[in-house]
Structure 1
Amino acid sequence: SFAGWDLNRTYNFRCRYTSTNVTIWIDGTEIVNVEDCFHPGRFGFYNASQDNVTYADFSYQVASDFSIEHDSICLGDTARYSIFCDPSFQSPYASTSWDMGDGTTYNHPNEVEHIYTSPGVYNVSLEVEDVNGCTDQIIKTITVFDTLVGIGPDITHCENEINSQTLDATINAQDTYLWSTGETTPIITVNQTGIYDVITTNVVGCIAKDTVEVTFNPKPIADFSVNDTCFGDPNQFVDQSLSNGSSIDSWDWYFDNDMIVDDNTQNPSHTFPAMGTQNVGLIVSNNFNCYDTLYNNLEIFELPVANFTAAPVCLNDQIQFINSSSIGTGSITNWDWAFDDGGVSVLENPTHIYTSEGVYNVDLTVTSNHGCVDSYTSNATVFPLPQVDFSASTVCEYEITSFIDETTLSNAHTNNSITNWNWDFGDGNTSTQQNPQNNYVSANTFNVILEVTTNNNCVNTYNESVTVIAQPQADFLYNDTCYNEPVSFENTSVPNTGSIINQRWYFDADPIPDALSNNPTFVFPTVGTQNVVLIVENDAGCLDTVNQAVEVYDLPIASFNVNESCLNDNSIFNNLSSIPTGTIDTYLWNFGDGNASTLENPTHTYGSE
């Protein structure tokens, strides 16, 4: 309302006139606003209350306007735009230009019908021009709602991978929803396989429907068996996965924690390159592309390291095997020895005696507390013993006995040589020569021992009886004699063994025997000491020699003279006898008258002439 005019005052009057509205402002205050259907044309008025009112500085501008049948429509519906409230009105505009906001334009005087092909909010503009070339433009918006609701594509899940599925049909919060489940919220949650429908109705009555199929496929359960193994041994994996009503069609095995598939067979075998705890993964998937993952740990145990030493020995000596096997973690519980001659042992540090010389390939197999095994082969050397033997000549006492070493030594498997000979002749005498001699000074049977040592310090002995035969004892009896008289020799030799079978007599110092008989006689051709040699031999072939000096004396040369005398006078005999060697110690005088004397120079008185 307007209170009235004041006198002597200037007012700013503004009027807006359209087909559907008249609005008047006085000094910016709206005093009239009438909605109705007005015929197009010029607007006029008059002042009925006061006569002395002056109007000045009139101006006008074209005011464009239009109405929208519905400012919210469904996609596919017709949008209707009108300039006048009554379509029969004639347009006062020289021209009208419509822009539908989607690139479409129209030139019509009163109204436009338009169908939008896409949902959205469109800015619709109308520009008018009057006969004076004045223009005006107005823009209004229209909302085109989509008649589709989007729940999304069909959904497939693996059970246990996700337990429920959210279905979201939200378009506008003020819309209404009706699901095939009976729920009326824009978002629902389902956990069963099935086909789900939703019908949405927006505020302008647009109806949309969508359908989605939700499938929860069975998921396999990954499982496999593992066994702890020893380093270097293949580990056989056995798939024990459950299909749960599906078909398992792939197996991805992970052995080295690098997330790269190492094997895709169902039951693979794998040898791990390192010891310790190994994390093994298996991903199985089925024909629905559902998968499950399982990781299990297994242990790769350290191998023991077999080793031993054995010092070389001589045949028949006990060889000691020293175990030096080791293991980093765990312990060694078993030792299995094979000595290459059929002999075995389970001791940690066994001993063994070989019955033949040679180089033996000894195997040691050790087992850890986890059953891990390692083997080691090394040589056990058994040096041969010298096969000691010798020969000795059978001799007579006081003769030299020669010993010949006949020892043999094998070099079939190792290099061997004899370095020492130790002889014990059984009579207190010894020697270190290879082929020594010994002079036995008594007859007996002697136990001779030969000990032989090799370059590998292998020692063997051999003993043998050596008999020394007793010599005969040569001897004879004789008497010294005078020149040119025979000497009788009596052989008194003793054989000591058996009997005397030969005797040889030597009377003249030449090597030719002079007599072979047992008791010979011999006339020495010269006087003096005669060396008589007797060599006797017993039936064992032993000899003995005896030397004795036989004296052959010079003959004295008898001679004397006597003085002539008278009967009954003493005749004096003067002995003139001589001898070349020796002395004359016996005298025997025969005076021819039956008397005799033993004086050197006797006297005698004859009783007759």
Structure 2
Amino acid sequence: MSEHHTYRDRKRTGCLKVILALIALFCTISAGQAATADFSGTPTSGFAPLTVQFTDGSTGTNLTWYWDFNNDGVVDSNQQNPLHTYNSTGNYTVNLTVYENGVFGATETKINYIQVDPLASFTGTPTIGNAPLNVHFTDTSTGFPNNWSWEFNEDGVVDSNLQNPNYVFTIAGRYSINLTVRGNDFRQNTTNVTDYITVRPLNSFTSNYTTVPTPYAPLAVQFNDTSTGSPTAWFWDFGGDGTSPVQNATHVFNTAGIYSVSLVAQGGGVNGTPPATQAISVYPKAEFTGTPQSGVYPLTVAFTDQSTGSPVSWLWDFGDGTTSTLQNPTHIYSSIGVYTVSLTVTGADSLSDTETKTGYIFVNTPARPLRANINGRTTFFSVDRIAGSSPFNATFYPYPVRLQKETTYTWDFGDGSPLVSVGTPPGTWYWVPAPINHVYSAKGLYSVTLTVKNSPTDYYSITIPNYVVVR
């Protein structure tokens, strides 16, 4: 009896010890080894869109995970180690709640753990052109910014707060564009693109060149710059005839030819393109002299070219059917007459001009007496000069022997003036005619006729053609 009870007590005591040990273990777990929530993220800051790898650091067994990436109370993932992309700027608080065996275990909250900045960027169209240049800017920033500050001319002043503005660049140069964007939680970013916009001057100019009247060398032309873009430097090229750096230039073209005048204006270190051009045609001006311009045949005349514009060829027409291509020819006139002389000169680019001088050369017979035979007697006359400028006073000298009282002299001076008759002075049987003057008032060649008359049937008339020359 005694041994049996002893065995039963020992068995009861062992079972109790096991139960107490289990109770102790449960209490230990409940008191100090409950589930914990923890995590990390990489990266925690950057430009939108920002993709973050979250890594669970929680403890416990049989856990489930409830991630809230933006603290809005909505579960965004149940993965243990999720990836999440933040598309909008801002400071993000991240929550992780873990359950152990389906029972709430713990929550970890990290305030403003993820910081996402906007990434400023833009495009502009066009990026190069002539002033005034109207450029449309388009915001291409990431992170959904809600505020924009544009600076177009590097002066520290905000020029626009629009998201997609237009801006007109009126002054030539290269422009760096600055854009600052801001998003949620005052997150911001700035980009600056150096020399993004190139604005060229628009080359243009005016001049006082005209083709009427003919533009002869030397030709002075005034050129005035009318380029846009407020240029500060100018490069004139006068078609190989010189250059100039001034804004409004005057140039004298001394040589005949066709000149392509060009202007390139520069502003802010930017040259306008293409150059503004104008064709300037400069003609040679034909001019000449001849010495002498009158005389008796054969008359040798030396012609001198006095043309301007540096002609390269000459064509003379002497008016008697002969020509010359010399610059300064000498010509012999072998016949009496009035000759019109012309000179055609040709310069560079086949530009030419002709000078014609009508009735320029007068060629006459030598001064000689005009003889008339009356009843076997000889009478004649001469003129003191055969050529001169109008009004021309010519004196005719008769050289007769003594004339009978019935004899008369009748003069026809060839210019349409009335005939002049001289008879025997009253009471004279024989007489000697005196010299007679006549004034020629117009240019021309004049034939002189003398008629010596002794009776109605006894007379003689003689004419010398082109005897007097009036220039």
Decide which structure has the larger Cα Rg and report it. Answer: 1
Q: Answer 1 or 2: which has greater strand percent.
A: 2
Q: RCO greater where, 1 or 2, for CA within 8 Å and sep 6 or more?
A: 2
Class of the TM-score when normalised by the shorter of the 2 chains: 0.3 to 0.5
Q: Answer 1 or 2: which has greater helix percent.
A: 2
TM-score, normalised relative to structure 2: 0.42
